[in-house]
Amino acid sequence: MGVVAYVGFIVVSVVVAVGVKRFDPAIVEQLSRRTGLTGSRGWTIFLVALAWTFLPVLAGASVDDESLWVVGAAMGGVGFYLGTIALTSMDEYRIVSRAAAVPPADLSAHTGDGVVATSGVPTVADPAAAVTPISGEPAVHTDWIAQQRTRVGFREVWSNVATGVESVPFTLGDGSVVVDSGRHRVFSNAERYTTVGRDEPLPDAVAEFMQPTPDLPDPEARDSKTRFIEEYIPGDEPVTVVGEPVQSERPGQVRIEDAPPDPLFGTHTDHSRSDGDDTEPIFVRGTVDEARRLLKKRLLFGGGVGLALIVCGQMLAFWLSPASLPL
């Protein structure tokens, strides 16, 4: 019975995951951008997580409505998520920590061994366009997701409606370094939440943003709360750009282009959408030193907490159930 229930839980979870991918593509697309995982690698990690999470069932845990071991299983699931985020940051941390830190004014197409880290406050051609699409914060790169409040059974939850990326080109060091817009590998802890009630008038910026996007709710026909979450690289404070400097079209100007791909998981820009090896720069909020600390914290804290939740969650699951592993 344990083996049958164990396999059944895994199969049902896979079916649910396939349904989420089909009916909630927005969250899948955003997770793909944030982790950079290919479909095959993402499914591999997911299956490993399922096999670990449901071990108590294989060992004899009950599957009735009063099973408390699922609390430990939930902890393990969160742990696998945090661990994946940490692991998919490992190579970016290595690249940023080993790259030569060079001020924008000192950069040339022949600087260092090819990969450099440079930082500064961005300068944009049109400041009015370099803002987050909803909250209007100065930004050169924004990863946003729109959600609406919906009812599932007796509970109300946030359902994902649409997601996307807004990015603008900018320069550093009084125009000595140019960075194109694109779907870069981005690491930032800057977020903004904007919630608009069903009967509240939409701010002009929100209505203007929602109008031309077919996946977003009609601003004039909303029947529930709408929430926007924006993760962005601020445009009014230093940003670190990591990549290879090449000569720009303008004399005396350098363009930051490619950063090396991630050999651990193959996680780099658009790898989840394309089989090509087209990489783009790494963006990290803050100065070079702050960028290194941010990635180190993401790697060590996320990985440490994730591992602790995976192990402790499983121990709790076995403790809260009659399951036992043969010794």
Q: What local confidence, expressed as pLDDT, does residue 277 receive?
A: 43
List all residues 6 or more positions away from 69 whose beta carbon is below 8 Å from its beta carbon.
56, 61, 316, 317, 318, 320, 321, 323
Q: What local confidence, expressed as pLDDT, does residue 6 receive?
A: 79
* Lowest mean per-residue pLDDT among 58-62, 111-115, 192-196: 111-115
- Averaging pLDDT over each range in 44-53, 62-71, 178-187, 271-280, which range is the top one? 44-53
pLDDT in tens, 167-190: 899 999 888 899 887 666 788 999
pLDDT in tens, 61-86: 777 656 788 888 899 999 998 998 88
Q: What local confidence, expressed as pLDDT, does residue 287 receive?
A: 95
Hunting for tokens 């192990």 — which residue is that? Answer: 311
Residue 85: helix, strand or coil by DSSP? helix
* Lowest mean per-residue pLDDT among 41-50, 196-205, 270-279: 270-279
Q: What is the CA radius of gyration of the chain?
A: 23
Instruction: Please indicate, yes or no, whether the overall pTM of this predicted structure exceeds 0.85.
Output: no
- Across 153-244, the runs of DSSP E, i.e. the strands, are 155-167, 170-172, 177-179, 185-187, 191-196, 226-234, 239-243
> First-to-last CA distance in the chain?
20
Residue 304: helix, strand or coil by DSSP? helix
Instruction: Specify the higher pLDDT residue, 233 or 218.
Output: 233
